[in-house]
Amino acid sequence: MRTISDLGNLRGKTVLVRSDLNVPLDSSGAITDDGRVRASVPTIRSLSQAGARVVVCAHLGRPKGAPEEKYSLRPVADRLSELLDFPVLFATDTVGESANGTVDRLNDGDVALLENLRFNPGETSKDDAERGAFADQLSHLADVFVSDGFGVVHRKQASVYDIAERLPQAAGGLVETEVAVLERLTRPRRPYAVALGGAKVSDKLGVIENLLKQADMLLIGGGMVFTFLAAQGYEVGTSLLEADQVARVRGYLVEAENRGVDIVLPVDIVAATAFSADAEHEVVPAGAIPADRMGLDIGPESAQLFARKIRSAKTVFWNGPMGAFEMAPYADGTREVAQALVDATAAGATTVVGGGDSAAAVRQLGFADDAFTHISTGGGASLEFLEGKTLPGLSVLDD
């Protein structure tokens, strides 16, 4: 994989950087977690300091191929300006008059941000020709392409894949770091513990299958745990359940036993009458969730059990919160797991938080980024990497 140092002298050259700036916004349009913006800054700054004319492109949210004000990247341009400590120019379109005019005005070291790539239908099109046509337009804006949005490298999209076939290209510092850290997880120091949460087991079937061949223990929490409990024949009440995955999960439990992998499930659950912070809730045994209640967090005994397992490990990967951490009554399980990772890090373990909701959770709960070995910027990309899949945005950099 080529890196920025392989591109030679970039002074005076226009460099198109694909960053991952897909940050959460509140109802007023303010950024609520700027972790991805901050993670993108080092590569942008280094290119600027090298004298390149830097054109950053990214997406935000899920617009349907047309402009939507609520998905504008303008707030991100403002935050980038603050973090870089100099103005970032903002183009109000992707490849139109504003983009071309903004790029033409750049001097060496200047930085510009294009409007949301997904305002153009060519960005995410499944049609190779439509996607390629948009990539052609993007390529006319620059001399060189740098891929630095790890959170999108699992997508075959114009600004991720097709553009890299049209310009001299390299991986940015963020992508380099992400790949290096995740490759360490494929050769872990043992014991190797993986904590998986989040809503749906179906989102993680492939990675579970692969991790059964690699990990020493799998700790299962979040909404996906109820499919595991159902596979053991337990009542799960009104909890999130993927009934069509029960048989497959039952097979995983058998395979784990045959391979000597310790699948750790909660022993107690915080069960509520409704998905609400104000709902009546209580701690119940994991095998006896009342029929009229839903599980919204792992219970205190489970949190302590998970924490002990994590602290005993030399390598830990965590993807997915243990419960509905956004609501205070159901945040304790996720907090305990995060603290256990912090403790494991301090004891010399390699700890990786697998992006997405996990990254948002640790920040919302007050943990510092540097308390972990690495916080990934790519939830889905991290999982697909560990699943052993070929990621288009990485494979194209090897061509």
Residue ranges of the annotated binding site for (2R)-3-phosphoglycerate are 36, 118, 155
> Before 392, cis peptide (omega within 30)?
no
Are 306 and 221 within 8 A, CB to CB?
yes
The secondary element (H helix, E strand) that includes residue 175 is: helix 173-185
Catalytic member of 13, 36, 53, 293: 36
Catalytic member of 151, 197, 222, 356: 356
Token pair 């509140």: residue: 26
Catalytic member of 2, 38, 74, 200: 200
Residue numbers belonging to the annotated binding site? 20-22, 36, 59-62, 118, 155, 204, 295, 326, 355-358
Are 57 and 73 within 8 A, CB to CB?
no
Strand segments (E) across the chain: 14-18, 53-57, 89-90, 111-113, 144-147, 169-171, 192-196, 217-220, 262-264, 268-272, 281-285, 294-298, 315-319, 350-353, 374-375
Let me know if 333 is a catalytic residue.
Answer: no
Q: Hey, is 111 helix, strand or coil?
A: strand
Residue numbers belonging to the annotated binding site for ATP? 204, 295, 326, 355-358
Residue numbers belonging to the annotated binding site for substrate? 20-22, 36, 59-62, 118, 155
Are 281 and 329 within 8 A, CB to CB?
yes
Q: Which two tokens stand for residue 267?
A: 């022993």
- CB atoms under 10 Å from CB of 128, counted, come to 10
Catalytic member of 149, 151, 380, 393: 380
HSE (CB half, 13 Å, CA atoms) of 238? 8
Q: What are phi and psi of 159, to 5 degrees?
A: -85, -5
Let me know if 389 is a catalytic residue.
Answer: no
**Which residues partner with 151 through β-bridges?**
none
Are 134 and 122 within 8 A, CB to CB?
yes
Let me know if 356 is a catalytic residue.
Answer: yes
- Catalytic residue numbers read 36, 200, 356, 380
